[in-house]
Structures are given as C-alpha cells and as structure tokens.
Amino acid sequence: MAGNLYLIPTPIGNYEDITIRAINTLKSVDLIICEEFKIAKRLLSKFNIQKELYSLNEHNEKEIAPEILKKIKEGKNAGLISDCGSPLFSDPGHYLVNLCITSKIDIIPLPGANSLVPAIISSGLEIGKFYYYGWLSQKKDIRRQELFQLKKIKDVIIILDTPYRLLKLLLEIKQIFSHKQKIVLAYNLSLESERIFRGYIEDILNEVQNNKLKGEFVLIIDNRK
C-alpha cells in the first residue's frame, strides 16, 4: 500500500504553539520534507525527533518531488513542513502535492499555527470578509501597480512581505493610499517582542522608524469607505 503525505504546520515563532498532533505526526512519519535543513533540524531537535530529511524549495522542487513520490508509493509516510506556519501558504510544495493527488495519494492536512488568523482577531476590526493579497512583487514598477490596484478595492486588505521590506512597504502605503490611511500592523506574532499597532499609517510608520523595527509581520489595510 502507498503511504500518505501529511501537511504539518510548525510554529511561527514560539515553539509552544505546535500542536500535540503535529508532534506525534512528525514522530510517526518515515521522512520529513522541509525548506531549509538548518531550520528544520532546530525544530526537530527541540522535540527530540530524528528523521530522514529532504530539502524542497522553489529551485529544486521539480527534481526532488518525483523522488519523494516514489518513496510514498513504496509505502513511506511523508510529512511536509515549511520554515514556519502552515505549509504551502506562499511556500513551496504545490508541485509535490499535485503529483500526489494525480497518483491518488492521500493528502492529510493538519490544522495549526499561522500568522493570518492571530493578526485578524487582534486587529480590533469587525471583519466578516477580507481580501487576501499576500506577497507583493519585489520589482518596483510592478509593486507600485499592484498597490494602485489594491487602492481601488474598498475592503479590508491583507498583505505579507519580508522583514527587510517593512519600512519600504509602509512608505509606499503612505504615498499611494494616504498619510491618514488606517492600518493594523501585527509584528513578530507569538514572540516576546510581539506588538500590534493600530491607527494611521503615518503614526505607525514613525514607530517603526524610531524603534528600528525589523521582523515578521502581517499588514492589514482598512480600506472600507
């Protein structure tokens, strides 16, 4: 019989956020697929787990995925994790999952840690629906076009980006939307340095600049008018 592919969320910062089911699944699978060995080994060491590891990322997925699929077809159970949070959410692994679906391999997703829900429920906004955009382009011209298009959407908009582009993103929002645009910045969620900033973009931008903040974040733009 073929094995299963488990999609296993990992903590976004605080190791205590991992679920009992996730730990038990990581212990039970035959192999674990990760983005980076270093980050995966640190997590697994924390819970005294030693497994055969495969690194799968955007550069090697089409080469590695068939090899992993072969092992699953041979009866091995595999667990897919990302560097943090829920796998496949703006992370590699889609090609492998589609190969498994085509081969009628059971895909078993586990609920668990992510940054999106904590950011929304702590925002203070009444959100019945929202527009998730995710990651903006790294290219300046395309990025600006994306933001101008988002400005037309009169809804709650959620954007993700890398820590080193936090300041740049806030400056762009201020310029393209308005210096009085209301936002929520969920910063370093689950860590001791966690902060939730709520208010006008110009005030939050000053906080980020003055305190030289550079960390993981979720940005919520309240563009309902």
Write the secondary structure of the chain as one string of H (helix), E (strand) and C (coil): CCCEEEECCECCCCHHHCCHHHHHHHHHCCEEEECCHHHHHHHHHHCCCCCEEEECCCCCHHHHHHHHHHHHHCCCCEEECCCCECCCCCCCCHHHHHHHHHCCCEEEECCCCCCHHHHHHCCCCCCCCCEEEEECCCCHHHHHHHHHHHHCCCCEEEEECCHHHHHHHHHHHHHHCCCCCEEEEEECCCCCCCEEEEEEHHHHHHHHHHCCCCCCEEEEEECCC
Q: How confident is the model at residue 25 (pLDDT cuts 50, 70, 90)?
A: very high
Homologous superfamily, domain 4-109: Tetrapyrrole methylase, N-terminal domain (3.40.1010.10)
The mean pLDDT of 158-176, rounded to a whole number, is 96
What pLDDT was estimated at residue 97? 97
**Nearest partner of 95 among 71, 59, 128, 130, judged by Cα:** 59
Assign domain 116-222 to its CATH architecture: 2-Layer Sandwich (3.30)
Would you state the pLDDT for residue 225? 79
Q: Where are the domains of the chain?
A: 4-109, 116-222
| Residue 90: per-residue pLDDT | 83
pLDDT in tens, 105-141: 999 999 999 999 999 999 999 888 999 999 999 999 9
